[in-house]
Amino acid sequence: MNILIFGPNGSGKGTQGAVVQKKYGIPHIETGVIFRQNISKKTPLGEKAKAFIDRGELVPDDITIPMILDRLKEDDAKKGWLLDGFPRNLAQAEALWKALESEKIELDYVIEIDLDRDSAKKRIMGRRLCKMDNNHPNNIYIDAIKPHEHEGKTVCRVCNCEDLTTRADDQDAAAIDKRHGIYYDTKTGTLAAVNYFKERTKIVSVDGRVGVKEVSEALLKQLS
């Protein structure tokens, strides 16, 4: 099973990706993770990519495309793959499609988690971390997981602990806007890549506005 998964930052793509990976038992190949591993190991690839990543820009295609096409040739990917974070623009989509065609590899599904830009931004900026447990999701903008108010204080909705915190990069509106600018660009950006596949293969589109469980259910219903 060969699958691509798309969704803006803040859409819950990582969580849903894990659900899909579990269903099929295929490797979850995330470009961002590969870059970060290379940066921490200080490999030549990591050294080249670091400056772009630090600026919130895409790593150039001549570095990213061969890296991913090579990764798809590794042994564990023979049984299939879930590709996450690639393609991120139209040029990468075209290169991937060409490579798949020439290797006669079928693309089974393209998953799109659909979420408007404003909601995606709120999802990120509203995220609150529970001091006791990061698996206690709280978000001041999502009713289903809104932190509770207790004696005038905002507390974790699961364990009632005080002092919910934010992640610094979640509060960086300019960085979020930059990433979303690339994602929502329908001319050459990530949505242009999604539209490219819409004309060529099966798209499974799910509404990302609902809760995590509902998105998973909608997704699994459409995947055979």
* Contacting residues toward ligand AMP, per CB under 6 A: 31-32, 35, 52-53, 56-59, 64, 85-86, 88, 92
- DSSP state, residue 112: E
53 vs 69, which CB is nearer to ligand AMP? 53
90 vs 130, which CB is nearer to ligand AMP? 90
In the complex, the smallest distance separating the C-beta of residue 188 from ligand AMP, rounded to whole angstroms, is: 13
- DSSP state, residue 146: P
30 vs 109, which CB is nearer to ligand AMP? 30
- Nearest residue to ligand AMP on Cβ basis: 32
In the complex, the smallest distance separating the C-beta of residue 201 from ligand AMP, rounded to whole angstroms, is: 18
Q: CB of 115 within 8 A of CB of 124?
A: no
In the complex, the smallest distance separating the C-beta of residue 83 from ligand AMP, rounded to whole angstroms, is: 9
In the complex, the smallest distance separating the C-beta of residue 56 from ligand AMP, rounded to whole angstroms, is: 6
112 vs 157, which CB is nearer to ligand AMP? 112
Say how far apart CA 49 and CA 199 lie, in whole Å.
31
Task: Give DSSP secondary structure letters for 68-120.
Answer: HHHHTTSGGGGG-EEEES---SHHHHHHHHHHHHHTT----EEEEEE--HHHH
- Burial class of residue 40, CB neighbours in 10 A (0-12, 13-18, 19+): exposed
35 vs 109, which CB is nearer to ligand AMP? 35
In the complex, the smallest distance separating the C-beta of residue 63 from ligand AMP, rounded to whole angstroms, is: 8
Say how far apart CA 7 and CA 177 lie, in whole Å.
15
Tokens linked to 178? 């930059």
